[in-house]
């Protein structure tokens, strides 16, 4: 895939430091000669995408998916899809299903060499529990009886060390017994907690005896009521990685301070015989921040709950299901992710990079069609009433292999629809479309000369008149005798397909809708959706839900996959032909 940016956007850095790390590991053989528990050889690069099934995936997740699956693909490795479902309250099967669909739709696959690498962290609860028991026995974990507030108070600050809990040195036997009681449901939520015994004076706050297991009397979507103790993310995640033989565990920068704890857990459990070396290693990259969108699950949910959008798959949502419904292709999303690379520094990526990727993907492949969005009647006075003449145009753009072979056909008749903006009674300077006395070509049809217009009693223009030149038809010899500047699209009024078209635009008009604690609801773009009835080329009657076209001069439009019915497509504007923002 090319990294060159069209549409006049400056190319963002497309470096990917993770490749450098992987290549160095391949050279030094860090993960060579490994085998799994069945003795099967393991690839040297094993990555994972670990979503928590508590919401819909968004464009930020796509970045992580493309990185993890992309690196595995490029280095003959494999990537696991792992549901990080260690938090019983917020997780749901609905989310598991949509995440599976979205990853597949993006074009990635967790099957490799006949094996399916789809995992649930909750299937590892037994190992996590046994690991915790083992840490307790070695004096590396203890059951604390302080409440959340006391723990917070004794944690210290960045400049002051923390204070030991009164329970820090309790005998291992006692902690072991209490931990079992926690598991057996003998204690209420929040009354006891298992903490790693590391260093209350560590300059890294994450190492000041972090909590690793807590009590939650809650039903889990996968394990039901089997457990009432659940591991904390920072304890569970390294174990999940090690059990799956992950080599490169890639996450976002917020987890950088957690890496020492990640390593601590793995080192201690490997000393105890739980895991073999080499152990997985965590690497952090800067999360994708796109202007004009928000990616907080909580805020996206608010947009849905308050009916500001029609649902998670509203075409203005930055969710994968929303982008898909909007007309985004997996190729475009992957292209955007490739072009923006992976970096160690947080920065903003302009939304136009995403739109540019969609245009670049669709331009060479989207079939062309004609749509009149803001219709005005054009009457060809010297065209015989009741007659229609067949016109044709290539379905595909010149770059497409089927450009010459496939043609679409549509009739020209005496009355047509043209765009309102293609006529001016009194032309402004440089205007070369229709005005009285001017000639233009009706694309794929004839050259016409404008003769005037009709107005209603309020002076509004309701129809334009012209006459056509019979020998000027596109594709015939005579056509070259006419030199005109304007080239207008049109549809036959009698044959046009009247269809609902939704003109979508950015949901927010502020490039940083929720930055600095701003109320993102104040930043909504009031013009993010306009619904019109447009007149479409009759061939579009056969458009199937999900089909994407370039409507000539207007942009890319997709037949809505939910609301289109047989013979009656509804179209969504995915993106205009040119970027009109920030100009
Ligand atoms: P939560 O607050 O619920 O944890 P999350 O966005 O981190 O939200 P996860 O399901 O934990 O959701 O994310 C799965 C993976 O996607 C994680 O590895 C996370 O780092 C990554 N990810 C999430 N948002 C982005 C982003 N904007 N850019 C890159 N990666 C992201
Ligand atoms: Mg997360």
Residue nearest to atom 23 of ligand 1 (CA): 61
CA of 237 to the centre of ligand 1 (A): 14
- 361 within some domain: yes
408 bridge partner residues: 393
Q: Does ligand 1 lie within 6 Å of residue 441's CB atom?
A: no
Q: Would you give the DSSP letter of residue 540?
A: G
pLDDT of residue 582: 61
Residue nearest to atom 15 of ligand 1 (CA): 51
CA dist 511 and 274 (Å) reads 48
Q: Within this chain, do residues 183 and 240 fall inside the same structural domain, yes or no?
A: no
In residues, how long is the chain? 583
pTM of the prediction? 0.94
Give the nearest ligand 1 atom to 53 CA: 10
So which residues are the catalytic ones?
A: 52, 287, 297
Listed residue (162, 237, 174) closest to 200, CA to CA: 162
Rounded CA gap, 348 and 9, in Å? 14
User: Would you say 288 is a known binding-site residue?
Assistant: yes
* C-alpha 102 – ligand 1 centre gap (Å): 14
Kindly state if the Cβ of 297 falls inside 6 Å of ligand 1. yes
Please tell me whether residues 240 and 104 are part of one structural domain.
yes
User: 560 labelled as ligand-binding?
Assistant: no
* Cα–Cα distance measured from residue 461 to residue 253, given in angstroms and rounded to the nearest whole number: 59
The pLDDT of residue 281 is: 98
In angstroms, rounded to a whole number, what is the distance separating the alpha carbons of residues 266 and 552? 58
Q: Which ligand is nearest to the CA of 256?
A: 1
The CA radius of gyration of the chain, in Å to the nearest whole number, is 31
Ligand of minimum distance to the alpha carbon of 337 = 1
* Ligand 1 centre distance from Cα of residue 58 (Å): 9
Reduce the DSSP state of residue 521 to 3 states and report it. helix
Question: Closest ligand to 234 CA?
Answer: 2
User: Quick one: 375 and 484 in the same domain?
Assistant: yes
Same domain for 90 and 141, yes or no, is no
User: Does 63 sit in the ligand 1 pocket, CB within 6 Å?
Assistant: yes
Same domain, 173 and 38: no
- What pLDDT score was predicted for residue 89? 82
Q: Could you tell me the distance, in angstroms and rounded to a whole number, from the CA of residue 230 to the centre of ligand 2?
A: 16
Ligand 1 neighbour 445 (Cβ under 6 A): no
Whether residue 468 contacts residue 383, with contact meaning beta carbons closer than 8 Å, is answered with: yes
Of 214, 230, 246, the domain-final residue: 230
Tell whether 385 and 469 lie within a shared domain.
Answer: yes
Q: Which of 16, 47, 52 to mutate to test the pocket of ligand 1 (most atoms within 8 A of CB)?
A: 52
* 51 Cα to the center of ligand 1, angstroms: 7
Q: Which residue numbers in the chain have pLDDT < 70?
A: 1-14, 582-583
The burial of 102, by beta-carbon neighbours within 10 Å (0-12 exposed, 13-18 middle, 19 or more buried), is given as buried
Read off φ and ψ for residue 491, nearest 5 degrees: -140, 150
Q: Are residues 115 and 263 in the same domain?
A: yes
What is the distance between the alpha carbons of residues 99 and 118, in angstroms, rounded to a whole number?
A: 12
User: How many CB atoms sit inside 10 A of residue 4's CB?
Assistant: 9
CATH of the domain at 252: 3.40.50.620
Question: Furthest-apart CA pair in the chain: how many Å?
Answer: 102
571 domain-assigned: yes
Does the beta carbon of 58 sit less than 6 angstroms from any atom of ligand 1? no
Using DSSP's 3-state secondary structure scheme, residue 452 falls into strand
Tokens, residue 442 = 């009706």
Backbone phi, then psi, for 168, in 5-degree steps?
-60, -35
Q: How far are the Cα atoms of 127, 240, 280, 397 from residue 275, in angstroms, in the given order?
A: 11, 11, 10, 56
- Closest-CA residue to 565 (of 543, 583, 537): 543
Counted domains in the chain = 4
Q: pLDDT (tens digit, 9 = 90+) per residue, 28-58?
A: 999 999 999 899 999 999 999 999 999 999 9
Question: Whose Cα sits closest to atom 14 in ligand 1?
Answer: 51
CATH number of the CATH domain containing 401: 2.40.240.10
Residues 240 and 118 in one domain: yes
Burial (Cβ within 10 Å: 0-12, 13-18, ≥19) of residue 100:
middle
Residue 383 domain-assigned?
yes
In a domain, 7, yes or no: no
Alpha helices for 75-207 (secondary structure H): 93-105, 125-137, 148-153, 172-183
Q: Is 319 near ligand 1, meaning CB less than 6 Å away? A: no
Picking from 454, 488, 522, the residue at the C-terminal end of a domain is 488
Q: Is the CB of 54 under 6 A from ligand 1?
A: yes
Note whether 192 and 178 are within 8 A (CB).
Answer: yes
Looking only at the bridges linking them, the beta strands covering 407-412 and 389-394 are: antiparallel
Residue 301 counted as domain residue: yes
On whether both 385 and 467 belong to a single domain, the answer is yes
> What does the alpha-carbon distance between residue 183 and residue 133 come to, in Å, rounded to a whole number?
11
The domain of 508 spans 297-366+499-575
Are 254 and 382 within one domain? no
CB atoms within 10 A of CB 523: 18
Count of helices and strands (H, E) across the chain: 12, 27
CATH number, domain containing residue 211: 3.90.800.10
Cβ(252) – ligand 1 distance below 6 Å: yes
Residue 189 dihedral angles phi and psi, to the nearest 5°: -50, 135
Same domain, 110 and 240: yes
In-domain check, residue 12: no
Domain for residue 580, yes or no?
no
Domain membership of residue 494 (yes or no) is no
Q: Is the CB of 231 under 6 A from ligand 1?
A: no
CB 343 within 8 A of CB 333: no
Measure 111 CA to ligand 1 centroid, in angstroms.
22
Instruction: From the CA of 254, give the closest atom in ligand 1.
Output: 20
- Regarding whether 171 and 76 lie in a shared domain, the answer is no
Domain boundary among 438, 464, 488: 488
Nearest residue (by CA) to ligand 1, atom 25, is 60
Rounded distance between C-alpha atoms, residue 470 and residue 381, angstroms:
13
The per-residue pLDDT for range 268-316, each reduced to its tens digit, is 999 999 999 999 999 999 999 999 999 999 999 999 999 999 999 999 9
CA of 315 to the centre of ligand 2 (A): 24
């Amino acid at each position: 895939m090319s990294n060159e940016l069209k549409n006049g956007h400056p190319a963002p850095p497309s470096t990917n430091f993770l490749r450098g790390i992987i290549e160095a590991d391949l050279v030094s053989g860090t993960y060579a000669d490994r085998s799994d528990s069945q003795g099967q050889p393991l690839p040297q690069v094993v990555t994972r995408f670990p979503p928590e099934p508590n919401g819909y995936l968004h464009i930020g997740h796509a970045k992580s998916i493309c990185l993890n699956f992309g690196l595995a693909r490029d280095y003959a490795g494999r990537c696991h899809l792992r549901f990080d479902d260690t938090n019983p309250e917020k997780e749901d099967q609905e989310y598991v299903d949509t995440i599976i669909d979205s990853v597949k739709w993006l074009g990635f696959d967790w099957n490799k060499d006949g094996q399916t690498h789809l995992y649930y962290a909750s299937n590892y609860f037994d190992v996590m529990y046994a690991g915790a028991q083992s840490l307790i026995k070695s004096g590396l974990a203890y059951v604390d009886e302080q409440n959340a507030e006391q723990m917070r108070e004794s944690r210290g600050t960045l400049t002051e060390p923390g204070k030991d809990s009164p329970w820090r040195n309790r005998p291992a036997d006692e902690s072991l017994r209490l931990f079992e009681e926690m598991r057996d449901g003998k204690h209420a939520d929040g009354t006891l907690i298992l903490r790693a015994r590391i260093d209350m004076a560590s300059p890294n706050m994450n190492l000041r005896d972090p909590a690793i297991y807590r009590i939650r009397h809650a039903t889990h979507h996968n394990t039901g009521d089997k457990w009432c103790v659940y591991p904390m993310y920072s304890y569970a995640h390294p174990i999940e990685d090690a059990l799956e033989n992950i080599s490169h565990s890639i996450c976002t920068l917020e987890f950088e301070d957690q890496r020492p704890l990640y390593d601590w857990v793995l080192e201690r459990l490997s000393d105890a015989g739980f895991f073999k070396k080499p152990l997985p290693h965590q690497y952090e990259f800067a999360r994708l921040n796109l202007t004009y969108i928000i990616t907080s699950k909580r805020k996206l949910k608010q947009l849905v709950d308050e009916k500001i959008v029609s649902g998670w798959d509203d075409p203005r949502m930055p969710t994968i299901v929303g982008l898909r419904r909007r007309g985004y292709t997996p190729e475009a999303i992957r292209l955007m992710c490739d072009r923006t690379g992976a970096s160690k520094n947080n920065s903003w990526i302009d939304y136009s990079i995403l739109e540019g990727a969609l245009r670049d993907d669709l331009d060479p492949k989207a079939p062309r069609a004609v749509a009149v969005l803001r219709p005005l009647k054009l009457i060809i006075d010297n065209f015989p009433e009741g007659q229609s003449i067949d016109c044709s145009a290539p379905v595909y753009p010149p770059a497409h292999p089927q450009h010459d072979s496939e043609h679409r056909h549509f009739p020209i008749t005496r009355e047509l629809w043209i765009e309102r903006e293609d006529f001016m009674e009194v032309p402004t300077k440089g205007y070369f479309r229709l005005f009285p006395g001017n000639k233009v070509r009706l694309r794929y049809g004839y050259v016409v000369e404008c003769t005037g217009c009709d107005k209603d009693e309020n002076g509004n223009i309701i129809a334009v008149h012209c006459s056509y030149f019979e020998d000027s038809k596109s594709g015939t010899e005579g056509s070259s005798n006419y030199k005109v500047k304007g080239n207008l699209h049109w549809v036959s009024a009698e044959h046009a397909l009247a269809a609902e078209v939704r003109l979508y635009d950015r949901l927010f008009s502020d490039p940083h809708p929720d930055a600095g604690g701003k109320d993102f609801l104040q930043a909504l773009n009031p013009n993010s959706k306009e619904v019109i009835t447009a007149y479409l080329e009759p061939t579009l009657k056969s458009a199937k839900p999900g089909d994407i076209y370039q409507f000539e001069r207007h942009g890319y439009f997709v037949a809505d996959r939910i609301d289109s019915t047989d013979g009656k497509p509804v179209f969504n504007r995915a993106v205009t032909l040119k970027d009109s923002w920030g100009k």
